[in-house]
Amino acid sequence: MLVASRAAAQSSSAIAEGLFRDGKKLLEHKKYAEACPKFAESARLEPSSGVELALGICYEGLGKTASAWGAYEDAISLARRDNRRDRQRAATARAAALEPNLAHLTIAVPADVASLEGLEVREDDVVVGQAAWNNAPVDPGSHTLAVTAHGKKPWTTTFTVEGPRAQKTIAVPELEAEPVSVAIGGGHVPMVTVTTHPLRLVSVVALGVSAAVLVSGSVLGGLAISDASDARKQCPSSPCGNASAVAENGTAASLADWSTVLFVVSGVGIAASVVLFFIRGPDVTRAAIRPIVGPGFAGVGGTF
């Protein structure tokens, strides 16, 4: 294991050195766009003050002043570690020359968004931690900002930082809820988020309950009519001496009474739903609803 570890380390060092030499040749010809990735990969494989110093010079040639300043700061730290005072002085001088002209970016994230589970803020595919949201150095030019969180729709915007000393602020809005899909019969039905007034939401729920009561009343009424018809067939004359027909007629009467009660309740519920629907309250409530279908039943469910 120790031999394998040494071999891997030697291989990484060799690759890093090769990339560094290639980068230096490109840098001599001011081919910054080709040289910078080589220096960056060399620094990833084997960090050193020399590579970071070269990377800073390369970034500066591309006009990426914030990236160059960051590379110089890394070079200072590594040179101090390696006791390379010459590199430390060079990197310090270059960083000091750049710092007054750096552009800065502030990412204004609302408290409600900042507390979301799984929140991630990315600038040009680089994760930006909360500590760097306020007045952080940024390279001039075009950038993309993306914000994601669990259960929320991703939010993305593009912006441009104009030249040195620019101060840019990007305001992140409230993130919209991500529709949730539920499996129904092998497919997926989305959970739809709606915004409404509380009384209007209550009216919709009450209307649904009233409709269910109305259907139940209709079913009981149909059963009552059927039982009464069967009883008349068994005993067409009155008074009736057939005990079975009398019992069935009693059941029909009971079902008819319950049907009448349910019709009255559903009528009151529907009337109340209509009244509540047109009363507008001051507050807004969000509800996520979805259709629910199962063996022998169908309905609407969700969170309110």
Looking at the structure, tell me whether residues 7 and 96 fall in a common domain: yes
pLDDT at 2: 46
The arithmetic mean of pLDDT across residues 245-272, rounded, is 76
pLDDT at 103: 97
Looking at the structure, tell me whether residues 94 and 111 fall in a common domain: no
Residue 68 burial (10 A CB sphere; 0-12, 13-18, 19+): buried
- DSSP classification of residue 237: S
CB atoms < 10 A from the CB of 48, how many? 21
Greater confidence (248 vs 161) lies with 161
The arithmetic mean of pLDDT across residues 47-74, rounded, is 97
Highest mean pLDDT among 193-202, 212-221, 293-302: 212-221
> For residues 48 and 20, what is the distance between their CA atoms, to the nearest angstrom?
11
Q: What 3-state class would DSSP assign to 228?
A: helix
> For residues 97 and 197, what is the distance between their CA atoms, to the nearest angstrom?
58
Sequence-ordered list of residues with C-beta below 8 angstroms from that of 164, at least 6 positions apart, any chain: 65, 101, 102, 103, 140
Estimate the share of the chain in helix, then strand, then coil, as percent rounded to the nearest 5: 55, 25, 20
Give me the CATH number covering residue 78: 1.25.40.10
CB 207 within 8 A of CB 269: yes
Looking at the structure, tell me whether residues 250 and 267 fall in a common domain: yes
Looking at the structure, tell me whether residues 95 and 110 fall in a common domain: no
Looking at the structure, tell me whether residues 272 and 202 fall in a common domain: yes
Looking at the structure, tell me whether residues 16 and 96 fall in a common domain: yes
Nearest Cα to Cα of residue 180 among 290, 67, 60, 46: 290
> For residues 213 and 182, what is the distance between their CA atoms, to the nearest angstrom?
27
How high does pLDDT run on average in the chain? 82
Is 303 within a domain?
Answer: no
Give me the CATH number covering residue 127: 2.60.40
Lowest mean pLDDT among 46-55, 94-103, 176-185, 215-224: 176-185
Res 294 pLDDT > 60: no
Q: How many domains does the chain have?
A: 3
Looking at the structure, tell me whether residues 18 and 91 fall in a common domain: yes
> For residues 203 and 197, what is the distance between their CA atoms, to the nearest angstrom?
10
User: Which domain covers residue 29, as residue numbers?
Assistant: 2-100
Is 176 within a domain?
Answer: no
The arithmetic mean of pLDDT across residues 137-162, rounded, is 96
Looking at the structure, tell me whether residues 232 and 258 fall in a common domain: yes
